[in-house]
Amino acid sequence: MAFRSRLLQFVLLLTHRYHPTQTWTSEGSLSQLKQQNIDRGKLWSTVHSSKKEHVSSSQIIAEESVAAARQSRASDLHLPSSFTMDHFNDPDRPTLDQILPVFIELTAARAGLKEEWQPTSEWYDLAGQFMLQAVIDSYVVNGHCFEDMHTAIFAFGSPGAASNDERPDIAAMRNLFCKDGSPAEEHASWTATRARYMQEVCILHVFA
């Protein structure tokens, strides 16, 4: 049931975020997702404060470039004429960084089924691509992606020492990105994959 519930939530959010009228969200529900991301980013910064792994602060993209990026996305997705460019930054529309934790929790629910599925290198690559696209999406929606959002987007991996009252998103991170029997030790393959996509973000900044 947990898997089916998360699957339905993820599909509705992802497929309807550019729907002209029905997004299946509200400003309040998205604010909760946003706050969850902020809290996870703060936890990540605390746990990994001594590490040098980070992304540099981003610049603000000119309004003309943002408008061109939105127009390009609308064309690529064949959005209906009833979808206007102003819908891109509508606060009632989910952004990819807000949907990303739902994707992680969905996968964790899948891993908890009887088949005992475990994330593969291909899934890690998919997660890294999702994070990269979330950064790009922030530029399209907001014209920028500041460092705190960068941190929250890539703040998936070892959440540090385990506790008895962890939130579902933190427990999902531990299940997917940490080794069995060592809940605070991150899989080396995921560490390398995340670093590779963080480097791609740095390249984006160079050519922005």
Q: Which two structure tokens, joined as six digits, stand for 76?
A: 């690529």
C-alpha span between 208 and 205 (Å, rounded): 5
pLDDT-derived band at 118 (thresholds 50, 70, 90) equals: confident
If residue 57 lies in a helix (H) or strand (E), which one and from where to where? Answer: none
| Spans of all domains in the chain | 2-17+25-62+91-207
Tell me the average pLDDT of the chain.
87
Beta bridge partners of 179: 182
Query: What number is the average pLDDT over the span 143-164?
Result: 89
CA distance 29 to 21: 17
For residue 145, the number of C-alpha atoms closer than 13 Å in the C-beta half-sphere is 28
Task: Answer yes or no: pTM beyond 0.75.
Answer: yes
What's the whole-number mean pLDDT along residues 111-128? 86
Query: By the 8 A CB rule, do 56 and 202 touch?
Result: yes
pLDDT (tens digit per residue) in 64-109: 989 999 999 999 999 998 999 989 988 889 999 999 999 999 999 8
Q: Is 143 left (phi over 0), alpha (psi -120 to 50) or beta?
A: left
pLDDT of residue 205: 58
CA neighbours closer than 13 Å in the CB half-sphere of residue 195: 10
pLDDT in tens, 30-70: 888 888 888 998 988 888 876 655 555 567 888 998 999 99
